Chains A and B, each alone.
Chain A
Amino acid sequence: MPPANDDPVLRSARREAVVVFLIWLAAMVYTVTYCYLNGYNRPVESLKFVLGFPDWVFWGIFVPWTVCVVVSFYFGATFMCDEDLGEELPEQEDELGLGGG
């Protein structure tokens, strides 16, 4: 359970990172599984096309890629929220051993 006084940027960044991780996982599991089951070691006679793509490329790569573009648009446009990144530490200020110029 994260501490209650978490920085709001940390809180939203963590939430977004978890969602992104799940999107990556879903894309990988679907794409690799579908392509392996439907696109490997088939006889050439079984070749079918959908919109010019071999069927397994269309359903296993083109469609999930299109979905990922839509999801990325949604994620960037609405799900991810804007935050104030805060003031930059003035140059030469070095309290607690932090950066500065």
Chain B
Amino acid sequence: MVPAGSLLLLAASPTGTPSVGYGTLAALVVFIVASMWIGMLANKAMQSGTFMKGFFLGNRGLGAWALALTATVQSGGTFMGFPSLVYTHGWSVALWICGYMVVPITGFGVLGKRMAQLSRKTGALTVPDLFRARFNSPALGLTASLLIMFYMSFMMVAQFKSGALVMKIAWPNSGTLALSEDAAYFRLPSQKLPELGFNPDVQSKLSKLVDRDFENETAFTDELKTELAADEFDKLKSKLVAAASPIDWLFYVGLGIFTVTVVGYTMLGGFLAAVWTDLFQSVMMLIGVVLLAILAVSAAGGMEAATLTAVGKTDAGFVFGPGYDPKHEGREYLPLGLAFSFFWVWVYSGVGSPAGMVRIMAGKSTEVIRKSIFLLSGYNYLIYLPLVVICICGRALVPDLPPGKTDEIIPRLALLTTAKLPVGSFIAGLILAAPFGAVMATVSSYLVVIASGLVRDVYQRFVNPQAGSHELRRLSYLAMIGVGAIAVLANIKPVAYLQAIVVFSGTGAAATFCVAALMLAFWRRTTAAGMLAAMLGGAGTMVTLYVLGGIFNLGGDRKIGPVTSFRPYYLFDLDPLLWGLGVSLAAGIVVSLCTTPPDSALVSRLFDAEEKPVS
């Protein structure tokens, strides 16, 4: 048993890695068991309707809490990278995130009512279903389905890696405290070096490499080459790469447990299981954040004292825009263009998210949509600003975390501030395990959307329209197992740039579907060709800007935004989403006006008031 005093010292120390022992593992087990139980409950609840409507849309029975806390909350990404950003760059990250103040009202108030109505009028169960039915265009439905699967596949593969990493770091004494991309870097730990049995001369040469992060194997071996003689390099390379590799048996065990759990409960309960586990983790997250905010402010001696201490350890950039630059290389974390952009990014990623649209379609009534607005408003208010405050206090209490370790700020604060509380270890474990719940919920909801795309939008529409309920059920299960298997295979050699891929998927989907969904809901003159142009215009712009920035390195690193190699080309310092939305809007309007107007009977049915029967 580690005494509380030494735990406090460890948590506050930038180099020592404290451990909660079995606390995190216990919390993870709680999450897994709760998720399976929720899956079984959802399985019972969906029995009342037909399989397809129950499995993929929860029989349109979502209540306000379920809709509010799951439709637009960006669970996984928000809570994993965000604390590290605040810790690193300071108060300007509050401006970066504050677009969330209007996410509830925009997420439900712009499209909610109309999407719910149109999906009922058309009997649509999925977003592509709705696109197809609104224009009587199978090609449009298929394109929407393929684009959704394109974005979600990126996200799925990245999220499976996150899930496996959380399992790995939850292992007692794993030496890591938080889920971060850095947990997947190549690193030769100093404690491993003596175990490798090299002679003192080689050990001395390798001392420059220990405890350093390398983005990938090539970067690590390149550095090795410079330190070792050619014959030493050839002889020792494989042993050193194995020792430094982040992907070990624990990662694969984690990947296996994560996959079986998430695919298992999603198969059991379908859409409802995904929504209810999301709700469960959202509530756990709220409890954790509020509790930690109170404890952290108190430990730091108040917010003002925390800010002053943090500024003393950094410079004025920590408290003023464009943000603190820890490497002093002239990087502006949040210049005006990006501050402006992120007010669009969070809002339109919510409005244009296909997974969010499906949940709105599943809402029980307009009353549920209305209530969701104020429930989510309160939730966001209690989550985001307190998270900023927590991490500012974190900079004061644990001031010198090195760049690769800043993701550990929340776990370290959890340990530091709960050490003297009863069941403090378990509370800290819950906070540490929360990202696992968030990742599970995200993966589960994407599994449902991808499986519905394959079974409903492709198989039932194009292969076998007469397929019976039993066959569709079997195919849905097969699709989920197939998607899980592909994600596991893709993670045998895991992807890099986890956070950047998550951002690309979210904003790419928004640029593709946001304008199209608005046109579908509100503009009679929209044509199927206009919809296609809007979707492909938005998607094409996003992909082009990412290819120009990430592959061709156009414009180089403009020293704005976060540091990553998977960066887009920031045309006029704006996020690509803004250009994607602009092109999507222009293409949608121009092509709609240049093509034959849609069938007036179809438009009338979806836009005109129903004539009341004459008594």
B interface: dominant SS:
helix
User: What would be 16 A-B contacts, judged by CB atoms less than 8 Å apart?
Assistant: A7-B606, A31-B98, A31-B343, A39-B321, A44-B319, A64-B98, A65-B381, A73-B377, A76-B377, A85-B113, A85-B120, A86-B120, A88-B120, A89-B120, A91-B123, A96-B599
Please provide the chain A residues from 46 to 71 with a CB less than 8 Å away from any CB of chain B in the complex.
Answer: 47, 49, 52-54, 56-57, 60-62, 64-66, 68-69, 71
Report whether A6 and B608 are in contact in the complex, using a CB–CB cutoff of 8 Å: yes
Residues of A within 8 A of B91 (CB): 39, 54, 57
Residues of A within 8 A of B321 (CB): 35-36, 39-41
Tell me the bound Cα distance from A65 to B610 in angstroms: 40
Nearest-Cβ distance from residue B390 to partner chain A, whole angstroms: 13
Report whether B123 and A88 are in contact in the complex, using a CB–CB cutoff of 8 Å: yes
The answer to the question of B593 belonging to the interface, with a C-beta cut-off of 8 Å to chain A, is no
Report whether A98 and B133 are in contact in the complex, using a CB–CB cutoff of 8 Å: yes
Report which residue of A21, A24, A71 has the largest number of chain B beta carbons within 10 angstroms of its beta carbon.
Answer: A24
Tell me the bound Cα distance from A97 to B605 in angstroms: 12
Report whether A10 and B121 are in contact in the complex, using a CB–CB cutoff of 8 Å: no
Report whether B117 and A89 are in contact in the complex, using a CB–CB cutoff of 8 Å: no
Residues of B within 8 A of A66 (CB): 381
Asked, given contacts A60-B95, A96-B602, A99-B122, whether A32 binds B340 with beta carbons under 8 Å apart, the answer is yes
CB-based nearest A residue for B339 = A32
Residues of B within 8 A of A43 (CB): 316
Residues of B within 8 A of A93 (CB): 123
CB-based nearest B residue for A31 = B98
Asked, given contacts A24-B347, A68-B102, A68-B105, whether A6 binds B609 with beta carbons under 8 Å apart, the answer is yes
The answer to the question of B237 belonging to the interface, with a C-beta cut-off of 8 Å to chain A, is no
Asked, given contacts A36-B339, A86-B117, whether A42 binds B316 with beta carbons under 8 Å apart, the answer is yes
Tell me the bound Cα distance from A65 to B102 in angstroms: 8
Tell me the bound Cα distance from A90 to B340 in angstroms: 46
Report which residue of B132, B136, B522, B601 has the largest number of chain A beta carbons within 10 angstroms of its beta carbon.
Answer: B522
Pick from A27, A32, A96: contact of B336, CB under 8 Å: A32
Residues of B within 8 A of A71 (CB): 105
Report whether A44 and B315 are in contact in the complex, using a CB–CB cutoff of 8 Å: yes
Report whether A68 and B374 are in contact in the complex, using a CB–CB cutoff of 8 Å: no
Report whether A89 and B381 are in contact in the complex, using a CB–CB cutoff of 8 Å: no
Nearest-Cβ distance from residue A90 to partner chain B, whole angstroms: 8
CB-based nearest A residue for B114 = A13
Nearest-Cβ distance from residue B321 to partner chain A, whole angstroms: 4
Tell me the bound Cα distance from A85 to B112 in angstroms: 11
20 new A-B pairs (CB below 8 Å) besides A3-B608, A65-B385, A91-B123? Answer: A10-B117, A10-B522, A13-B521, A16-B113, A27-B343, A28-B340, A39-B92, A54-B91, A69-B381, A76-B371, A76-B374, A80-B369, A85-B113, A85-B366, A88-B60, A89-B123, A97-B602, A98-B123, A98-B133, A101-B52
Please provide the chain B residues from 323 to 377 with a CB less than 8 Å away from any CB of chain A in the complex.
Answer: 336, 339-340, 343-344, 347, 365-367, 369-374, 377
Residues of B within 8 A of A83 (CB): 113, 117, 366
Q: Which of B145-153, B195-203, B300-308, B577-585 lies on the face that meets chain A?
A: B300-308
Residues of B within 8 A of A60 (CB): 95
Report whether B343 and A61 are in contact in the complex, using a CB–CB cutoff of 8 Å: no
Report whether B607 and A99 are in contact in the complex, using a CB–CB cutoff of 8 Å: no
Nearest-Cβ distance from residue B358 to partner chain A, whole angstroms: 14
The answer to the question of B322 belonging to the interface, with a C-beta cut-off of 8 Å to chain A, is yes
Residues of B within 8 A of A68 (CB): 101-102, 105, 377
A interface: dominant SS:
helix
Asked, given contacts A17-B109, A82-B367, A91-B50, whether A6 binds B320 with beta carbons under 8 Å apart, the answer is no
Nearest-Cβ distance from residue A5 to partner chain B, whole angstroms: 5
A residues with a Cβ closer than 8 A to B are 3, 5-10, 12-14, 16-17, 19-21, 23-24, 27-28, 31-32, 35-36, 39-44, 47, 49, 52-54, 56-57, 60-62, 64-66, 68-69, 71-73, 75-77, 80-83, 85-91, 93, 96-101
Report whether B370 and A97 are in contact in the complex, using a CB–CB cutoff of 8 Å: no
Please provide the chain B residues from 564 to 612 with a CB less than 8 Å away from any CB of chain A in the complex.
Answer: 599, 601-602, 605-610
Tell me the bound Cα distance from A96 to B598 in angstroms: 12
The interface bits of chain B over 224-237 (1 if a CB of A lies within 8 angstroms of the residue's CB, else 0) are: 00000000000000
Residues of B within 8 A of A47 (CB): 307, 311, 316, 319-320
Report which residue of B123, B381, B610 has the largest number of chain A beta carbons within 10 angstroms of its beta carbon.
Answer: B123
Nearest-Cβ distance from residue B333 to partner chain A, whole angstroms: 12
Tell me the bound Cα distance from A71 to B50 in angstroms: 40
Tell me the bound Cα distance from A64 to B385 in angstroms: 12
CB-based nearest A residue for B320 = A42
Residues of B within 8 A of A91 (CB): 50, 53, 123
Report whether A61 and B311 are in contact in the complex, using a CB–CB cutoff of 8 Å: no
Tell me the bound Cα distance from A12 to B370 in angstroms: 13
Tell me the bound Cα distance from A60 to B315 in angstroms: 21
Residues of B within 8 A of A96 (CB): 136, 599, 601-602, 605
Residues of B within 8 A of A57 (CB): 91, 94
Report whether A75 and B105 are in contact in the complex, using a CB–CB cutoff of 8 Å: yes
The answer to the question of B125 belonging to the interface, with a C-beta cut-off of 8 Å to chain A, is yes
Tell me the bound Cα distance from A26 to B522 in angstroms: 22
Residues of B within 8 A of A87 (CB): 120
Nearest-Cβ distance from residue B84 to partner chain A, whole angstroms: 19
Nearest-Cβ distance from residue B336 to partner chain A, whole angstroms: 5
CB-based nearest B residue for A5 = B608
Tell me the bound Cα distance from A16 to B381 in angstroms: 22
Asked, given contacts A24-B102, A61-B98, whether A77 binds B311 with beta carbons under 8 Å apart, the answer is no
The answer to the question of B104 belonging to the interface, with a C-beta cut-off of 8 Å to chain A, is yes
Residues of A within 8 A of B322 (CB): 40-41
Report whether A73 and B374 are in contact in the complex, using a CB–CB cutoff of 8 Å: yes
Report whether B133 and A9 are in contact in the complex, using a CB–CB cutoff of 8 Å: no
Residues of B within 8 A of A39 (CB): 91-92, 95, 320-321
CB-based nearest B residue for A82 = B366
Nearest-Cβ distance from residue A91 to partner chain B, whole angstroms: 6
Tell me the bound Cα distance from A62 to B120 in angstroms: 39
Nearest-Cβ distance from residue A54 to partner chain B, whole angstroms: 5
